Amino acid sequence: MPGLEGTANPTKVVVHPLVLLSVVDHYNRVATSSKKRVVGVLLGQVEGNSVNVANSFAVPFEEDEKNPSVWFLDHNYVDTMRDMFKKVNAKEKIVGWYHNGPKLRSSDLQISELFKRYTANPVLVVIDVQPKEIGIPTNAYFAVEDIHDDGTAATKTFEHVPSEIGAEEAEEIGVEHLLRDIKDNSVGTLATRVTHQLTSLRGLAERLTEIRTYLQHVLDDKLPVNSEIIQNLQDIFNLLPNLAIPDDAPAFTVQTNDEYALIYVSAMARTIIAL
């Protein structure tokens, strides 16, 4: 793959919504009622230090549940599908592979070695189709050589790189239409908004916990001081409203009370209608 040979691993992996939808569909078709995992190929481009994963396709895959080292991946099928996708969009090339995880397995290094016949440095994206934690359901890895200080032979291991969800304007419109189609009509708009706000608050609480843990480790000399992280935290704190100003605190209180009053009246109306 041009841009990867002889260079360091990319520092970011961008996964498009189409890939997430394809992986979920693959899992629901093949493994929803079993413990087997699904495997597929990732298509996209390498743009500088970023891997842009724009498309994917499923691959026939089997493995022995008792012996993880025994597995089968139909690379002839991969060759056929690669040639077909090349005719549709020549810019999309094989950049790696995926499985539904939710964690790495011992055979993943061997599968990554197989994919080196298609790209010099394949990325592995573990996509959790049934996430139990708040956040994006993707984790990206590159296979690297771990050199030991004792002089023993180097071993292969996975290096984690940050991943994010990115979409073009057309994809964002498509996702909005899809979410509108699958919306539960039995749940009111207000209830949906409250649910989304609750989910956001839980995510915020988790991030604040991570920040507190990191700062505590820095104070305890368990982690070195990272000036870039400290600068980002300072920018976050600077964006917080100054509640010490006399006019701000009552304004927040009034707005919060108004929202609670709206929720209360809505709940009473729904209860009366239900009776």
Tell whether the model's pLDDT for residue 187 goes beyond 60: no
Q: What pLDDT, in 10s, does the model give residues 77-99?
A: 999 999 999 999 989 999 999 99
Tell whether the model's pLDDT for residue 104 goes beyond 80: yes
Give pLDDT, residue 7. 52
Do you know the residue count of the chain? 275
In percent, the amount of the chain with pLDDT more than 70 equals 92
Average pLDDT, the chain: 86
How buried is residue 112: exposed, middle or buried, by Cβ count under 10 Å (0-12/13-18/19+)?
A: buried
Tell whether the model's pLDDT for residue 190 goes beyond 90: no
pLDDT greater at residue 261 or residue 251: 261
Reported pTM: 0.69
Q: How far apart are CA 8 and CA 45, in angstroms?
A: 16
Give me the mean pLDDT over the 91-111 stretch. Answer: 91
